[in-house]
C-alpha cells in the first residue's frame, strides 16, 4: 500500500514544486479542471503542464453541481482534453456555492464520459454518496471505480462497491500527515498496490 497520490486545485496556491513532490514519493496528481458548466480552475493548464513535465501521472477532475449532468461532462472534456493515460474523475459532494449534483445528474455525467472515452470515470465521494444511496447500490454509478473520501483509520464503503480504488484518507490536516515536498499540506490518497499497479489503475480510467 502506498500513499502516493495527491489532488489539488487553485486553493493550493501557485508555483508548486512537482519535481520535489515526485522525489518525495508522490507518483500521481489529480487536478481540478472544471466545476458546473462554466467554471474553470484558473491554474489548471499551468499545473497540468508542470505535472507532466515532472514525469508524474496526471489526472483531472470535475466538481459536479446541480446543472445538466451530460452538459457538464461535455464542458469538462472540452477543458480537460484528456490525452491517453490521463485519468478522469467526477467529484460528487455537496456544493457549498449552490445546488448540488443529484444521483440522476451524476449518472448522466458518467454515461457521457463513457460514451466519449470508452471507460467509466473514477468517482470521488464519501458520506454524501452514502447518504444519497440510502443503503441501495446504484446500477450505473457502481460501474465507476471508487475514489473514497473517508478521513480516519478505517475505509467504510458505500453500497455497490466491494473495494476502493483510491482512498483519500486526509485533507492534509486530519491525522497530522507530513507536508508533501514542494506542495505543503494537501489532500492525500492511498493506493492498495505498487507503482506498476497504480499505473494500471490510471489507464483503466483514461482514454
For residue 202, being part of any structural domain is answered with no
For residue 107, being part of any structural domain is answered with yes
Instruction: Give the 3-state secondary structure of 7-30.
Output: EECHHHCCCCCHHHHHHCCCCEEE
How does DSSP classify residue 95?
Answer: -
Predicted model pTM:
0.96
For cell 466519449, the residue is: 116
Structural domain count of the chain? 1
Instruction: Output the CA angle 17-172-34, nearest 5 degrees.
Output: 70
Write out the chain's pLDDT in tens, 207 residues: 999 999 999 999 998 999 999 999 999 999 999 999 999 999 999 999 999 999 999 999 999 999 999 999 999 999 999 999 999 999 999 999 899 999 999 999 999 999 999 999 999 999 999 999 999 999 999 999 999 999 988 899 999 999 999 999 998 888 888 899 999 999 999 999 999 999 999 999 998
Query: Which CATH number characterizes residue 58's domain?
Result: 3.20.20.80
The range of the structural domain enclosing residue 142 comes to: 2-188
Amino acid at each position: 500500500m502506498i500513499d502516493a497520490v495527491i489532488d489539488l486545485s487553485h486553493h493550493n496556491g501557485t508555483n508548486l514544486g512537482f519535481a520535489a513532490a515526485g522525489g518525495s514519493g508522490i507518483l500521481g496528481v489529480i487536478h481540478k479542471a472544471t466545476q458546473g458548466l462554466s467554471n474553470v480552475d484558473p491554474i489548471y493548464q499551468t499545473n497540468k503542464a508542470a505535472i507532466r513535465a515532472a514525469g508524474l501521472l496526471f489526472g483531472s477532475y470535475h466538481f459536479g453541481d446541480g446543472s445538466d449532468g451530460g452538459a457538464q461532462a461535455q464542458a469538462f472534456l472540452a477543458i480537460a482534453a484528456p490525452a491517453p493515460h490521463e485519468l478522469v474523475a467526477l467529484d460528487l459532494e455537496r456544493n457549498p456555492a449552490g445546488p448540488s449534483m443529484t444521483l440522476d445528474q451524476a449518472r448522466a455525467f458518467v454515461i457521457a464520459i463513457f460514451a466519449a472515452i470508452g471507460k467509466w470515470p473514477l468517482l470521488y465521494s464519501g458520506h454524501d454518496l452514502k447518504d444519497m444511496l440510502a443503503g441501495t447500490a446504484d446500477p450505473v454509478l457502481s460501474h465507476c471505480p471508487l475514489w473514497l473520501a473517508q478521513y480516519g483509520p478505517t475505509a467504510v464503503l458505500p453500497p455497490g462497491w466491494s473495494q476502493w480504488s483510491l482512498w483519500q484518507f486526509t485533507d492534509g490536516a486530519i491525522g497530522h500527515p507530513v507536508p508533501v515536498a514542494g506542495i505543503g499540506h494537501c489532500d492525500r490518497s492511498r493506493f492498495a498496490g505498487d507503482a506498476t499497479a497504480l499505473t494500471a489503475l490510471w489507464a483503466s480510467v483514461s482514454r
